[in-house]
């Protein structure tokens, strides 16, 4: 069995380790029991194994055997205590880990693993979506967003804007660097998703100058200044949802026009999709921006043959819509939901505990933990896409969560020399015929 050497666990962990080594330690020396390197490697291991109690298990292993799996798989020298880990990560600048996302995406591209993600004209679909990953009435820090209530109470929260490469043909989403939505150092000003997007888009473009992108986002983004930002790079495009409440002028305009039409059936003929599109429509009464508008309906028959019709969505785009592209454009537009379904939902409800904070801290802890969880999720997505051994291990478990419970148990209870040995063991116990691996 072959594995891709540059996308192997060891290679990906080395990329992360190289980045961590460049983080400058601003802590006072006297208080440093553990290096930033050991802390950041251990923190990624906790998120990767989805195990908040991982450090305690590894310390027990080390007491018994003078070794543990943090040492063998994550190159940790001295296993930190959880409290020291939190104090240290609180001090790390929020943008410190952003380059790792760039490295992983570039490697996937160089190794031809993104071919199935290419859209019309070899562009990539990048979905943007915000998420609130922390909310509390009691716990807070200086960076928390605040919402005052009439009864005098206050809700504290943290949000992030997440960009991810998606494809309607692939289940895996590939996260890009997240942008913190928070009160910045020393300011009282609240931040918001749109401002975060104005900061994030130039960063992503700078990181991937030769990746033409089609940006997918909600109605909130379908405004003149934002579309101008997207169009400031000539080979980028957008598909933004438009809602009647936000875009009354546009809705009124298309209601008075004849549409170009196309239809196709899906789900073995059980569902028909109707595509209506309108060209060169003003975004709103005062805007010079013209967009093409696509409205999609679905008609399904129930088992008694009774048909119901629903609206699938309405989108504004600067892509040319015609008979040959309309189905692809609608599928791309709908793929935006994958960030919510395949990314945030999984992070919240399938083991990663993204909203059960590992701790809050006073500065950057909350966002750094979010970023680390997103990196761990990215590593898992890369394994799913590229790692034959991991894919084989996955087939032995009913759900991904069961697989990770199995691996977590092995990681916390047994000693392994490497990740390959651990996954190989997980496969071997289920398939005694398994012969092992040859790196390519
Ligand atoms: Zn906070």
Which residues contact residue 353 at a Cβ distance below 8 angstroms, ignoring those fewer than 6 apart?
50, 52, 373
| Angle made by CA atoms 385, 331, 258, in degrees to the nearest 5 | 170
Please tell me the distance between residue 242's alpha carbon and the centre of ligand 1 in angstroms. 32
Judged against a pLDDT cut of 70, whether residue 31 lies above it is answered with no
CA distances from 278 to 266, 294, 317, 318 (A): 23, 7, 11, 12
pLDDT band at 212 (very low <50, low <70, confident <90, very high): very high
Please tell me the distance between residue 49's alpha carbon and the centre of ligand 1 in angstroms. 25
In the numeric block, which tokens belong to residue 72?
């063998």
pLDDT band at 339 (very low <50, low <70, confident <90, very high): confident
Contact 394, 403 (CB under 8 A): yes
Question: 91-115 burial, b for 16+ CB within 10 Å, e for fewer?
Answer: bbebebbbbbbbebbebbbeeebbe
Weakest-pLDDT range from 190-194, 215-219, 236-240, 292-296: 190-194
Distance of CA 154 to the CA centre of its chain: 29
Contact 370, 178 (CB under 8 A): yes
Average pLDDT, integer, range 103-112: 96
Please tell me the distance between residue 135's alpha carbon and the centre of ligand 1 in angstroms. 9
Q: 214 - beta bridge partners?
A: 125, 237
pLDDT on residue 270? 86
**Model confidence pLDDT, tens digit, residues 299-324:** 998 888 888 999 999 999 999 999 99
Please tell me the distance between residue 74's alpha carbon and the centre of ligand 1 in angstroms. 29
Please tell me the distance between residue 339's alpha carbon and the centre of ligand 1 in angstroms. 24
pLDDT on residue 348? 74
Contact 292, 320 (CB under 8 A): yes
Domain residue ranges in the chain: 2-95+360-439, 240-325
pLDDT on residue 439? 45
Please tell me the distance between residue 368's alpha carbon and the centre of ligand 1 in angstroms. 11
Judged against a pLDDT cut of 90, whether residue 387 lies above it is answered with yes
Single out the residue of 83, 103, 100 nearest to residue 39, CA to CA. Answer: 83
In the numeric block, which tokens belong to residue 193?
């998703």
pLDDT on residue 49? 93
Phi, psi of 315 (to 5 degrees): -135, 150
Q: For a pLDDT cut of 70, what percent of the chain falls above it? A: 94
Please tell me the distance between residue 362's alpha carbon and the centre of ligand 1 in angstroms. 7
Which residues contact residue 126 at a Cβ distance below 8 angstroms, ignoring those fewer than 6 apart?
163, 164, 165, 166, 176, 204, 213, 214, 215, 216
Please tell me the distance between residue 321's alpha carbon and the centre of ligand 1 in angstroms. 44
Please tell me the distance between residue 75's alpha carbon and the centre of ligand 1 in angstroms. 31
Judged against a pLDDT cut of 90, whether residue 223 lies above it is answered with yes
pLDDT on residue 183? 83
CA 257 – CA 236 distance, rounded (Å): 28
Contact 386, 420 (CB under 8 A): no
Single out the residue of 419, 415, 425 nearest to residue 439, CA to CA. Answer: 419
pLDDT band at 350 (very low <50, low <70, confident <90, very high): low
**Model confidence pLDDT, tens digit, residues 261-305:** 999 998 888 899 999 999 999 999 999 999 999 999 999 988 888
pLDDT on residue 437? 54
Average pLDDT, integer, range 154-164: 93
Judged against a pLDDT cut of 90, whether residue 205 lies above it is answered with yes
Higher pLDDT, residue 69 or 139: 69
Average pLDDT, integer, range 141-161: 91
Single out the residue of 230, 242, 236 nearest to residue 284, CA to CA. Answer: 242
pLDDT band at 440 (very low <50, low <70, confident <90, very high): very low
**Model confidence pLDDT, tens digit, residues 170-185:** 999 999 999 999 887 6
**Model confidence pLDDT, tens digit, residues 45-91:** 999 998 888 899 999 999 999 999 999 999 999 999 988 899 999 99
Please tell me the distance between residue 136's alpha carbon and the centre of ligand 1 in angstroms. 9
CA 367 – CA 89 distance, rounded (Å): 10
Phi, psi of 70 (to 5 degrees): -65, -40
Please tell me the distance between residue 217's alpha carbon and the centre of ligand 1 in angstroms. 26
Q: For a pLDDT cut of 90, what percent of the chain falls above it? A: 73
CA 164 – CA 187 distance, rounded (Å): 29
pLDDT band at 236 (very low <50, low <70, confident <90, very high): very high
Judged against a pLDDT cut of 90, whether residue 326 lies above it is answered with yes
Mean pLDDT score across all residues of the chain: 91
Please tell me the distance between residue 143's alpha carbon and the centre of ligand 1 in angstroms. 5
Q: Residues with beta carbon < 5 A to ion ligand 1?
A: 141, 144
Single out the residue of 316, 311, 309, 313 nearest to residue 334, CA to CA. Answer: 313
| Angle made by CA atoms 254, 256, 259, in degrees to the nearest 5 | 55
Please tell me the distance between residue 344's alpha carbon and the centre of ligand 1 in angstroms. 19
Judged against a pLDDT cut of 70, whether residue 435 lies above it is answered with no
């Amino acid at each position: 069995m072959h594995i891709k050497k540059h996308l192997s666990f060891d290679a990906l962990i080395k990329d992360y380790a190289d980045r961590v080594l460049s983080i400058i330690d601003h802590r006072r020396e006297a208080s440093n029991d553990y290096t930033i390197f050991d802390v950041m490697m251990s923190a990624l291991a906790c998120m990767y194994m989805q195990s908040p109690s991982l450090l305690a298990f590894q310390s027990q292993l080390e007491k018994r055997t003078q070794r543990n799996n943090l040492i063998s798989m994550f190159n940790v020298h001295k296993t930190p205590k959880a409290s020291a880990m939190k104090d240290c990560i609180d001090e790390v600048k929020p943008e410190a880990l952003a380059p790792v996302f760039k490295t992983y995406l570039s490697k996937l591209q160089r190794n031809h693993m993104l071919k199935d993600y290419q859209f019309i004209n070899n562009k990539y679909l990048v979905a943007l979506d915000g998420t609130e990953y922390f909310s509390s009435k009691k716990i807070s820090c200086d960076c928390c967003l605040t919402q005052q209530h009439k009864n005098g109470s206050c809700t504290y929260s943290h949000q992030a804007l997440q960009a991810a490469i998606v494809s309607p043909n692939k289940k895996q989403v590939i996260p890009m660097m997240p942008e913190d939505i928070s009160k910045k150092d020393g300011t009282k000003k609240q931040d918001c998703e749109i401002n975060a997007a104005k900061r994030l888009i130039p960063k992503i473009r700078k990181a991937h100058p030769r990746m033409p992108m089609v940006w997918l986002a909600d109605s909130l983004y379908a405004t003149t200044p934002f579309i101008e930002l997207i169009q400031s790079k000539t080979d980028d495009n957008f598909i933004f949802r438009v809602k009647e409440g936000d875009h009354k002028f546009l809705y009124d305009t298309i209601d008075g026009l004849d549409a170009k039409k196309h239809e196709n059936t899906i789900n073995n003929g059980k569902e028909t999709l109707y595509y209506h599109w309108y060209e060169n429509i003003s975004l709103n009464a005062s805007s010079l921006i013209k967009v093409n508008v696509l409205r999609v309906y679905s008609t399904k028959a129930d088992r008694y043959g009774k048909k119901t019709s629903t609206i699938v969505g309405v989108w504004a785009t600067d892509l040319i819509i015609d008979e040959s592209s309309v189905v692809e454009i609608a599928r791309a537009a709908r793929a935006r939901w994958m960030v919510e379904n395949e990314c945030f939902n999984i992070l919240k409800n399938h083991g990663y505990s993204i909203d059960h904070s590992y701790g809050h801290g006073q500065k950057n802890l909350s966002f750094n933990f979010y970023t680390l969880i997103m990196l761990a999720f990215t590593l898992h997505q890369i394994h799913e896409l590229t790692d034959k051994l991991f894919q084989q291990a996955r087939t032995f478990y009913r759900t991904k969560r069961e697989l990770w419970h199995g691996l977590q148990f092995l990681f916390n209870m047994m000693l392994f020399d490497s990740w390959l040995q651990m996954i190989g063991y997980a496969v071997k116990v289920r398939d005694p015929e398994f012969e092992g691996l040859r790196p390519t």
